[in-house]
């Protein structure tokens, strides 16, 4: 599904340059549940952002379903993010000025879906994560677990093929984290590819494949026997 070849990313911090990723080759198949682990600063988030084309690599080739993404413009890339990818973040990253329902409606709005249809779809998504009763609530009125579930509903809005989760349980108490993980696993069972960055060794073992990064390089890449 996704192939990264010799991907490199350097951050220029003025006084020093930081090599976030060095010569990363990675291939992700449809339906995988990949966990990305590694110490702080090992380039996990950078890798995730590059996979989600929120960020672009300085060098290397990114191929999505056989298409070289480096040739595409911002509009096309945004469209891919909107329709094929879904992001889930550690700090939820909801729009605080908008209700849970409206947050979920945003990606639908960017996709050009019409108002009433959009509302129905968003309600359906929120129900599927068990938030029927919280649709009109603003993020600051919701618990962390609820906020993350809104974020997942938002990530799922346009039926993405890939979910990119950056420590989705990092800010949650363990039982709430477990709920989130359960949702992700069930999505994976339905065929959605998942890439999840985590610190947690136990969580790292929950996926079908674990990629370990150190200093911007892939240290290990282990697949569980099915």
Partner 1 sequence: MSLFDRLKTSLRYIRGRLVESILIVAAIAVGVALVAAMAAFWGDYNRQTEFLLNDPAYREVVVEVVGTERDLDEAVAEYDPETAETVQLGLDELTLAMRSVSAAQYAYLADRTRLQAGVSERLQNAIAQGRFGGQGAGVPPAGTAGALAAPAAEALGGDDTNDSDSAPDAGQIVEAQPLPREDAGEEESEVERGEEDDTDERAIDAAEASRDRNQAASPAPSGGGRGQFDGAGGFNLEQLLAGSEDVITEFPVDWIATISGTEQLFAAYGLEADQGSLFTDEDVEGGNAVMVLGSDLAGRMFPDDDPIGQQGLFGIRTYTVVGVLRPSEIRDNETGLMINEMAFVPNSDAQVSFGGFTIDFTQASQTLRFAVADSRDIERAVSQIESFFEAEYGPGAVAVSARIEEAAEERDQIGRVLVVVLFLAVAALFIASINLFNLMLMRVIKRTKDVGISRAIGASKGSVFRSFLNESALLSLIGTLIGLAVSPLVYRLLASSLVVSAQALDGVGSTSGMAGNWILLVAGAAVAAGISIVFGVWPARQASRIDASLAIRTE
82 is a site residue for partner 1 (CB under 8 A)? yes
The beta-carbon contacts of 176-183 under 8 Å, at least 24 apart in sequence, are 176/143, 176/144, 176/145, 176/148, 177/203, 179/145, 179/149, 180/145, 180/148, 180/149, 180/152, 181/206, 183/129, 183/149, 183/152
> In the set 12, 16, 71, 112, which binds partner 1 (CB under 8 A)?
112
Q: What is the C-alpha to C-alpha distance for residues 147 and 117, in angstroms, rounded to an integer?
A: 23
225 is a contact residue toward partner 1 (CB under 8 A): no
- Is 110 a residue that touches partner 1 (CB under 8 A)? yes
Residue whose token pair is 């990064």: 213
Q: How far apart are CA 137 and CA 80, in angstroms?
A: 29
Closest CA to 36 of 4, 11, 68: 4
Interface pick for partner 1 out of 1, 106, 178, 221 (rule CB under 8 A): 106
Q: How far is the CB of 22 from partner 1 (least distance, A)?
A: 18
Minimum separation from the CB atom of position 74 to partner 1 (A): 5
198 binds partner 1 (CB under 8 A): no
Q: Which is nearer to partner 1, 83 or 123 (CB)?
A: 83
Q: Does 19 bind partner 1 (CB under 8 A)?
A: no
Q: How far is the CB of 211 from partner 1 (least distance, A)?
A: 19
Evaluate whether 150 touches 95 at the Cβ level (below 8 Å).
Answer: no
The β-bridge relationship of strands 193-197 and 162-166 is parallel
Number of neighbouring beta carbons within 10 Å of residue 215: 14
Residue 28 or 104 with smaller CB distance to partner 1: 104
What gap in Å lies between CA 170 and CA 186, rounded to an integer?
19
Please say which residue, 62 or 210, places its beta carbon nearer to partner 1: 62
Residue 87 is a binding residue for partner 1 (CB under 8 A): yes
Binding site for partner 1 (CB under 8 A): 45-46, 49, 52, 54-55, 74-75, 78-79, 81-83, 87, 89, 91, 93-95, 97-98, 106-107, 109-112, 115, 154-155, 157-158
């Amino acid at each position: 599904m996704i192939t990264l070849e010799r991907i490199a990313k350097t951050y220029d911090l003025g006084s020093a340059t930081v090599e976030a990723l060095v010569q990363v080759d990675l291939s992700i198949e449809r339906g995988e549940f990949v966990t990305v682990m590694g110490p702080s600063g090992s380039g996990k988030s950078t890798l995730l952002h590059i996979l989600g084309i929120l960020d672009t690599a300085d060098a290397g080739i990114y191929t999505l379903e056989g298409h070289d993404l480096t040739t595409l413009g911002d509009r096309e890339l945004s469209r891919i993010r909107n329709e094929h990818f879904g992001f889930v973040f550690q700090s939820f990253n909801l729009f605080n000025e908008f209700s849970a329902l409206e947050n979920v409606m945003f990606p639908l709005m960017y996709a050009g879906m019409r108002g009433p249809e959009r509302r129905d779809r968003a309600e359906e998504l929120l129900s599927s994560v068990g938030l029927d009763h919280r649709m009109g609530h603003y993020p600051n009125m919701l618990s962390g677990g609820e906020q993350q579930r809104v974020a997942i509903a938002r990530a799922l809005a346009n039926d993405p093929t890939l979910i990119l989760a950056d420590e989705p349980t990092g800010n949650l108490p363990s039982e709430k984290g477990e709920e989130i993980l359960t949702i992700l696993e069930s999505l994976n069972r339905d065929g959605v590819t998942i890439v999840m960055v985590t610190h947690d060794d136990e969580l790292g073992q929950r996926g079908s494949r674990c990629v370990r990064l150190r200093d911007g390089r892939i240290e290990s890449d282990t697949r569980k026997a099915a």
